[in-house]
Amino acid sequence: MDMVGQGEGYYVSGGNYIPVTWKKKSEKDMTRYYNAKGEEVKLNPGKIWIQVYPENRKNEVIIK
């Protein structure tokens, strides 16, 4: 999977979720996440888990 560029996803935390756009300029750059207003999402402190799905399987993701 190409992890440089941008894509869509969800930020899930504290029992809530919001749609986000992720952006990464280069392999060595940090991935940044933006909300629907284009504001950078401040991630909660602590351990973070990132799950990546191929574009052709995103309809298999269910958030309850």
Q: What percent of the chain has pLDDT over 90?
A: 48
| pLDDT over 80 at 23, yes or no | yes
Enter the pTM of the model: 0.79
Which residues, other chains included, contact 27 with Cβ-Cβ below 8 Å and sequence gap of 6+? 3, 4
As for how many domains the chain has, the answer is 1
Which residue would you say has higher pLDDT here, 9 or 64? 9
> What integer pLDDT is reported at residue 62 of this predicted model?
80
Q: Which domain holds residue 9?
A: 5-60
